[in-house]
Amino acid sequence: MAASRLRVLGIAGSPRRGGNTDLLLQPAMLGAGGQGAETRIVVLDEHDIAPCRHCDKCLPSGKCAIEDDMQWLYQELREADYLILASPIFFMGVTAQTKAMIDRCQALWVTKYVLNLPSTANSHGERKGLFISAGGAKLSDLFGPAIATVKSWFATLDISYAGELLFSGIEAKGAINKHPTALREAFLAGQKLIQG
C-alpha cells in the first residue's frame, strides 16, 4: 500500500478576499506543496462557524454540540500534518473569523487536557505550524497578542510553532504586492515548514 501524502492545511482568516494575507498564503502553500504534499486552503469567511458558547457540552466526549462547518473542519485540523494560518491584525488580535474557529477548538482542548486523549489524528509524527500576518500600523509590539493566541491554539492541537512571517505597515488591499521580498519570503517559509 502506498504511503499517504503529507497534508498541509492553509487557513485564510481574512474576510477580505484577495487581500494581503491571502496573497501571502498562496505562495506559502505553493512552497509547501512543491515538496509533494497535498494542500488545501479553507477560507473561514466562506463557512458557517459560530463562536463558542461555553455550553460545556463538549466536556464528557470532546464533541462540540454546535452543528455547523466546524464539524468537518475539526477533522481537517486533526488530520493535517502541517498548518499555515494567515490572519491580518484586527484591533491587535486575529480576525473574528479566526478567533471563532480557535475558540471552537475548546472541544479539542477538552479532548487533550480533560479526557487525556490525542487531539490529533495524523500519522506522520510531529505536526508543525506557520503563522502569517499583516497589519497596517508600524508598531514594535503589533503582533504579540496574536502570536500568543496562535501559540496557545497550536499547543492545543499538538502543533509546534515552527515559524512566523509578519509584515507591519501593510494596510491597503494588495499593498503586500509592492513589498520587495514578501511573496518570495512566503514561498520559502512554506518550503522550510515542510523541509524542517
Give the residues lining the site for ligand FMN (CB under 6 A): 14, 16, 19-22, 88-92, 134-137, 142, 170-171, 173
Pick 20 or 156: Cβ nearer ligand FMN:
20
Q: Give the cell for residue 182.
A: 514578501
Q: How far is the CB of 170 from ligand FMN (least distance, A)?
A: 5
Pick 154 or 167: Cβ nearer ligand FMN:
167
88 SS3 class = coil
Pick 118 or 169: Cβ nearer ligand FMN:
169
24 φ, ψ (degrees, to nearest 5): -80, -35
Q: Cell 496574536: give the residue.
A: 146
Q: How far is the CB of 86 from ligand FMN (least distance, A)?
A: 7
Amino acid letter at 94?
V
Q: How far is the CB of 83 from ligand FMN (least distance, A)?
A: 18
Pick 95 or 156: Cβ nearer ligand FMN:
95
Pick 67 or 141: Cβ nearer ligand FMN:
141
Cβ-contact 27, 189 below 8 angstroms: no
Quick one: which of 82, 104, 95, 83 has its CA closest to 145?
95
Cβ-contact 88, 96 below 8 angstroms: no
Q: How far is the CB of 147 from ligand FMN (least distance, A)?
A: 14
Q: How far is the CB of 150 from ligand FMN (least distance, A)?
A: 15
Nearest residue (beta carbon) to ligand FMN: 19
Sheet strands (E) in 19-150: 38-43, 82-86, 127-134
